[in-house]
Amino acid sequence: MNYENLMEQLIAEDDRIIVMTAENRAAIRGLPAKVGKKFIDTGITEQTMVGMATGLAIRGRKPIIHALACFLTMRAYEFIRTDVGISGSPVKLVGGVAGFLSDANGPTHQAIEDVAIMRGIPPMGVFCPSDEQEMLKGLPSVIASEQPFYIRYNNLPAAVERPNHTFEIGKAEVFGAKTASVTLLTYGFLLTHVLKAQQILEANGIATRVVNMRTLKPIDTEEILHSVKTSDLVVTIEDHFLVGGLYSIVAETLLTNGVTGKVKPIALENKWFKPALLKYVLEHEGYTGEQLATRVTNFLHQ
């Protein structure tokens, strides 16, 4: 089962599903031949695609729409906010190559504010799967939901083996003990590298747990509060601007609940990242497992 198979299956099972793209077919190349008119390519027109998706939703459909994350969320932002957002239509927005995944494209293609701007739209949910396995596991519930959702598309190989893989919107996935001196909060493909950092930290005698947030909206408030209350240090790790992403969500959660603690961010602080192939981006920006372990250790000593 891959993403395209899942789309085909969802269309076969639910007459409401329509798949759309603004000429970004990378993940769904074989679909047009299989689903006919349930596939619409509007060409390079992100705004029109979002407006049309809203019109289809008015007619009871549930459109799943595709474009590169930066153009989908930003070129068409006002259409998403005004047409999908105000009406609360169940449109599912799938953004490709978000965060570091745009590797060498350059800043025009870097969607590193997408979580901030999508979660700011009242009815919008945000799902950032860690890998293809989690994306395919989570999408059926995300699509079944009657609220609009933004999905950071991610078809990378599984970050970790999950013999008993379950998924629930708003429920984080925890790796490690119930409590530990360090908790690392993350989302998306970085989970692979954060789990590597966990191994290194553990090998160095620092008890570490990792929390994969999975959905950033709704957020797992309980897990955030538990992490901050039980760990000496919590670090948020994200390929997103510092403003408006997971670190902001944690700060909002703590203030709302009158909880405080030592929480440090690893994020892009007022800068775009160096365009290069993904493995080089990770090294250059300090996000390899080894580099993350060092940065977390430095926070411990601060």
Partner 1 sequence: MDLTLSLPELEAMSFRVREHIIRMSTDGGCFTGASLSCADLIVYLYKHYLNVSPDRFDDPTRDYCFLSKGHDVPALYGTFVEFGWLDKSRLDNHLKPNDSIYWHPNRNIPGVEFYSGSLGHLLSVAMGVAYDCKLRGMNNKIVVIVGDGELNEGSIWEGLLVSNAYKLDNLVVVVDRNHFQANIRTEELIPLESIEDKFRAFGWEAVSVDGHDFTKLHETFSNVKTHSGKPQVVIASTQRGKGLPSIAERADRWFCNFSAEEVDSLLKELHGAAETNLTSEVLIVR
Shortest gap between Cβ of 174 and partner 1 (angstroms)?
Answer: 41
Q: Are 237 and 213 in contact (CB under 8 A)?
A: no
Residue 78 binds partner 1 (CB under 8 A): yes
155 binds partner 1 (CB under 8 A): no
**Residue choice 6, 25, 26, 82 for contact with partner 1 (CB under 8 A):** 82
| Contacts of residue 161, Cβ cutoff 8 Å, sequence gap at least 6 | none
Smallest separation (angstroms) from partner 1 to the CB of 19? 13
| Count of residues in contact with partner 1, rule CB under 8 A | 27
The answer to whether 100 and 116 have CB atoms below 8 angstroms apart is: no
- In this chain, which of 9, 23, 55, 274 binds partner 1, going by CB under 8 A? 55
**Interface pick for partner 1 out of 83, 132, 173, 285 (rule CB under 8 A):** 83
Q: Does 290 bind partner 1 (CB under 8 A)?
A: no
Is 79 a binding residue for partner 1 by CB under 8 A? The answer is yes
Q: Say if residues 126 and 217 touch (Cβ distance below 8 Å).
A: yes
Measured CA to CA, the distance from residue 8 to residue 139 in angstroms comes to 13
User: Is there binding between residue 59 and partner 1 (CB under 8 A)?
Assistant: yes
Interaction between residue 120 and partner 1 (CB under 8 A) = no
CA distance 119 to 187: 15
* Contact range with partner 1 by CB under 8 A, out of 54-62, 108-116, 183-191, 234-242: 54-62
Residue carrying structure tokens 């990770």: 282
Q: Is the dihedral of CA 9, 10, 16, 17 positive or negative?
A: negative
C-alpha to C-alpha distances, 154 to 63, 68, 211, 242, nearest whole angstrom = 19, 12, 18, 21
**Among 38-46, 221-229, 233-241, 281-289, the segment contacting partner 1 (CB under 8 A):** 38-46
Residues that bind partner 1 (CB under 8 A): 37, 40, 42-43, 45, 47-61, 63, 78-79, 82-83, 86-87
